[in-house]
Amino acid sequence: MDKFVIEGPNSLKGEVTVSGSKNASLPMMAAAILTTEDVILHNVPDLKDIATMCKLLVELGCRCKREDKTIVINCSNLDSNKAPYELVKTMRASILVLGPLMARLHNAEVSLPGGCAIGVRPVNFHIDGLRALSADVKIENGYIVSTAKKLKGGSIYFDIPSVTGTENLMMAATLADGETVMKNAAKEPEVVDLAKMLIMMGAKIDGIGDSIIRIDGVDKLSGVEYTVMNDRIEAGTLMVAALATSSEVTIKGMPIYAMDAIVDKFKEIGGKIEIIDKDVAVVGGKTIKPTIISTAVYPGFPTDMQAQFMAVLSLADGSSIIKETIFENRFMHAAELNRLGANIVISGNEAVVNGVDRFVGATVMATDLRASASLVIAGLAAEGKTEVLRIYHLDRGYEKLEEKLSNLGAVIRREKE
């Protein structure tokens, strides 16, 4: 396994370009199952999860070829309906093939994803939604086994807005007979990006970006060439890194239109932003102000930015409160930040972050993707050497992060543990 070694404190300066969004790319890759024609995706990040989805599509009989930032997928020879445990266990987003398989083949066997370090991610949204589309769904030997003569439009209500649930069922409904109405659907920009691509393929979708989405099923979908949106969480992570190190960084390709909650909170705690054409200049002030954060579904403050903000608020002039409402185990990075000198007290789903004067380098261990990013941010600001272990978590969601930070002047390198 690899680790990061960071010599701090660091001062960042220069330009950095945001990569394409992993969370937008994965459902788009799964959507290739819906057509027999080529699906060409541009701006796809080079990440382990993307490679895993490619491997899964090949397992199903598709062709999946990558060249630089472009992936070409063709599922004309789709000959399997089974997503095996061996692949699904390494990436929970594999469940996104369930809806497209049902739409195309009318039967699917997709392994249950299994555990997740940051908390339970229920699959009941996917199962109940497919049943609402007239599918017969059972759990057998650790697999979701779903069959239908033909999916039929229906009414789907989400008790809690589910991103993958909305995406999966939206894809399934594109080829169903009749109209499907999804209520309390997820509004995330990645859901909107998927819907835009599906519409270019010939799907009839109304209400994208709203809580009520209507889909009129069509007989078939065509191929498409589409450019994936940039990653708003990577952009937010780079913003916070600049603030934690009192740096000035120009972020190119930042999808600021999708980042209102992140940008507002960034400004509130002392960061400054200037929009220059399509670039965003980010300036970290000398003083970080405390605040109150409560994670929420979009357009609220994203749970995927909670850990990064906890890192920078550990250096604030005062105490902050962070409430995590999405995942029950998403404070595991707090203990590791405390090893670097933070003063964070956890009580249930609430964290009190008491600001300290500085971080001091130490060896810390990443527990999940966003926790990894928070430890890197803290390491950049810390005095002395910080080693971040188990960065394979980070490699799932950040494309060449150490190279981007090095180009900004950070002293960070990848080594074998």
Last residue of some domain: 186, 207, 227? 227
Task: Provide long-range contacts, Cβ within 8 A and 24+ apart, for 56-59.
Answer: 56/83, 56/87, 56/88, 56/94, 56/97, 57/29, 57/30, 57/32, 57/33, 57/97, 59/83, 59/84, 59/87
Question: Are both 219 and 314 inside the same structural domain?
Answer: no
Question: Are both 300 and 203 inside the same structural domain?
Answer: no
How large is the average pLDDT for residues 57-63? 98
Tokens read off for 93: 């987003």
Q: What percent of the chain has pLDDT over 90?
A: 90
Amino acid 114: pLDDT: 60
3-class secondary structure, 270: coil
Give 115's pLDDT tier (boundaries 50, 70, 90). very low
3-state secondary structure 40-67: EEECCCCCHHHHHHHHHHHHCCCEEEEE
Please state whether beta strands 82-83 and 136-140 pair in parallel, antiparallel, or not at all (unpaired): unpaired
Name beta bridge partners: 108. Answer: 146
Question: Are both 162 and 255 inside the same structural domain?
Answer: no
Tokens read off for 37: 């024609």
Question: Are both 279 and 359 inside the same structural domain?
Answer: yes
Give the sign of the dihedral formed by CA 18, CA 19, CA 23, CA 24.
positive
Range of the domain at 338: 2-19+230-416
| Nearest alpha-carbon partner for 319 in 383, 269, 264, 374 | 269
Amino acid 278: pLDDT: 79
Q: What percent of the chain has pLDDT over 70?
A: 98
Question: Are both 249 and 380 inside the same structural domain?
Answer: yes
Q: At CA 120, angle to CA 290 and CA 59, rounded to 5?
A: 120
Cα distance between residue 19 and residue 320, in whole Å = 31
| Nearest alpha-carbon partner for 135 in 110, 115, 154 | 154
Comparing 361 with 116, which gets the higher pLDDT? 361
| Nearest alpha-carbon partner for 393 in 327, 326, 307, 292 | 307
Question: Are both 301 and 412 inside the same structural domain?
Answer: yes
What does pLDDT average to over the chain?
Answer: 95
Amino acid 284: pLDDT: 87
Cα distance between residue 232 and residue 20, in whole Å = 9
Tell me the per-residue pLDDT of 264-307, one tens digit each, with 9 for 90 and over: 999 999 999 999 887 999 998 889 999 999 999 999 999 999 99
Question: Are both 11 and 54 inside the same structural domain?
Answer: no
Query: Taking the model in full, what pTM does it have?
Result: 0.95
How many distinct structural domains can be found in the chain?
2
Residue 116 has pLDDT above 70, yes or no: no
Q: CATH number for the domain including 138?
A: 3.65.10.10
DSSP result, 104-163: HHSEEEEE-----TT-----HHHHHHHHHTT-EEEEETTEEEEE-SS-B--EEE-SS--H
**200 DSSP 8-state letter:** H
Residue 121 has pLDDT above 70, yes or no: no
Does residue 52 contact residue 91 with C-beta atoms inside 8 Å?
yes
For residue 373, give every residue at least 6 positions away whose Cβ sits within 8 Å of its Cβ, in sequence order, or none. Answer: 237, 307, 308, 394, 398, 401
Tokens read off for 23: 């969370």
Tell me the per-residue pLDDT of 149-166, one tens digit each, with 9 for 90 and over: 999 999 999 999 999 999
The strands making up 63-67's β-sheet, listed across from edge to edge, are: 63-67, 70-74, 39-42, 224-227
Question: Are both 201 and 294 inside the same structural domain?
Answer: no
Residue 10 has pLDDT above 70, yes or no: yes
- Which residues are the active-site residues? 116
Question: Are both 255 and 123 inside the same structural domain?
Answer: no
Question: Are both 263 and 401 inside the same structural domain?
Answer: yes
Residue type present at position 211? S
Last residue of some domain: 227, 244, 273? 227
Question: Are both 363 and 214 inside the same structural domain?
Answer: no
Residue 176 has pLDDT above 50, yes or no: yes
Amino acid 403: pLDDT: 98
Last residue of some domain: 199, 227, 255? 227
- 138, with CB counted inside 10 A (0-12, 13-18, 19+), is exposed
Query: Which letter, b or e, does each residue of 375-398 get, where b requires 16 or more Cβ atoms within 10 Å of its Cβ?
Result: bbbbbbbbeeebbbbbbebbbbbb
3-class secondary structure, 405: helix
Question: Are both 248 and 220 inside the same structural domain?
Answer: no
